[in-house]
Each structure stands twice: as C-alpha cells, then as structure tokens.
Amino acid sequence: MRTLAAALLLIAFPCGAGAAFNLESLGRQLLGPPASSTPQPAPEQKPESPGLVLDVSEEDEIRAGQEVATNLLGAAPLVEDEGLQRYVSTLGRWIALQTERPKLPWRFGVIDSMDVNAFACPGGYVLVTKGLYAKLTDESELAGVLAHEISHVIRRHYVDLMRKQSALALGASFLETTLRKEKTQVVKNLVGSGAEIFARSLDKSAEFEADRTAVVLAARAGYDPYGLPAVLQKLEALAATDSTVALLFKTHPDPATRLARLSEAMGERLDAYGAGGGGALYRLQ
C-alpha cells in the first residue's frame, strides 16, 4: 500500500510536467467553453433515429465492456509483469480522475501482442498492446495514448457504434420488442466478439475528438500535451504495409491527418510545448 501511494504521488507530479501554459485557455480552444454552472433549460427531446434506438445505460455499458475485455484477453492475455501492469493502471486511473466520469470501474493493462494498437472497451476498460508500449519513449507519450482511449470511453464512442450496428442488424421494431423481454441477452448480442468490434472503424470525427480531448486530459494530469502528437509522429513513420500496424491503420484516420487536425485545433501552441517532458517509462522485462 505504501509503495502504491508513493507511485500515485509521483504520477500526480510527473517529472518535467510543469509546462508553462494556460490550461483553461487550452481546454477552451480544443473543446469549447466549459459548461455553465447556471442551470440551463433542458433541450427539446427529439425522437432517436432508428440507428440509435437502443438505450444503453451505464450499467449496460459496463457489462458490455467486461464481455468485450474478456474476449480480447482470451485472444491476447496480459503481459506477465506485475510491476508493469501496476504502473500502467496507476497512471491510467490518475488520468481518468481528470474526466467527468471518474467513478467508472476503470481498468488498464498491457496485453501480450506485438501489434501496435490500443483498445478502449465501453465502461472503462483500456488495453495497450506490448508492441505499442515498446515504441513509447517517455511517460508523457503513454499518458497521451491512455488519454486518447479514455476519451473514447467518456464520450461513449464505441457504445454509439454498437447501438447503430445493432439497430441496423435487428430492425428498430424487433429490437424494441426484444428489449422489453430480455435486455441482458440483447446486450450480449450487441457485444459480439471484441475482435469484431475493434475491426470496425469509428467515425473520423470521433477519432479527432478523442485526440483533442486526450491533449486536454494529459495536460490536466500534469503531462506535456505533446505526448500524443509525438506518438502520432512515430506511427506516421511506420510503413502502412507493416503487419504490426495493419489493424490500426485500417480502423483509424492516417496519422498525418490526425496530426494536421490536432495542430489546426491547437494552433501555434503545439510547437511551443516541444517533445518529451515526461518521466521515464517502466522498463519492459
């Protein structure tokens, strides 16, 4: 317990993270103004489109995420390194505390796959491949990767994708009838296999949103916001024909486009931060 508490303190004040920038201004520029504390009238309720007919509660989301994570771990188990898993989990939980959904049952891990990728399962389950971890240089880059995946969770990007896919496959009227009978089974059918879900592409706008949100979350956690762009530069340098990045390149916009959109959102601020600025990574055994 004492060791874990010390690790948490180190993450709260990471090495080289005291970058001089206006965090409130950065967040406003990337994500828009903060929500007003003054109560606002409820927006007019509009009927959902057939593609979004399935109402997935947070409880459903967590249960679905558990099943997806279980399927993924069945294909690629966690790396057998307790220190590594504790390190990544502690860092991930610290970043998740900076979000509007800190109470999700957040779980983080590194899976034993040399593919270069990371996965965000609904409900707070985030997995990074050993292949991607091995390409990271410092802690700010890991923070950027985890923050990107955390952003998918808090924005419910994969939940929305599964809702759309389920409604299209089953038909709105049939789905509504089934929900009244047995919602648990529908959620199970909705999940399918983890590999199937992550073989699908999110909307490009969801990936761009996750990139912007990740920069802000990393900064809130005390890390150089250049960490994620530094990782994108490394991915850009990998050949598209490299089998280790095949799934990543298939399901994401190309890194050059992501960098351009992120640079456009941040303006000249991005260049001012410079690369690096994070502590040393836990060394793979």
pLDDT at 45: 39
pTM of the model: 0.75
Is the model's pLDDT at 199 over the cut of 70?
no
In total, the chain counts a number of residues equal to 285
Among 31-35, 36-40, 250-254, which range has the highest average pLDDT?
250-254
Q: Reading across the β-sheet that carries 107-111, which strands appear in turn?
A: 107-111, 125-129, 118-121
Which of 210, 52, 243, 45 lies closest to 144 in space, CA to CA? 210
Specify the amino acid at residue 191. Answer: V
pLDDT at 190: 55
For the record, the structure tokens of 193 come out as 């296999």
The lowest-confidence range among 10-14, 20-24, 174-178 is 10-14
The lowest-confidence range among 8-12, 154-158, 246-250 is 8-12
The lowest-confidence range among 128-132, 148-152, 199-203, 208-212 is 199-203
Listed in sequence order, the residues at least 6 apart from 279 whose beta carbon sits closer than 8 Å to its beta carbon are: 10, 14, 15, 16, 138, 139
Confidence of residue 79 (pLDDT cuts 50, 70, 90): very high
Using CA atoms of 191, 101, 87, 145 in order, give the dihedral in degrees to the nearest 10: 70
Q: What angle do CA 226, 97, 76 make, to 5 degrees?
A: 75
d(C-alpha 103, C-alpha 90), whole Å: 15
Contact 126, 108 (CB under 8 A): yes
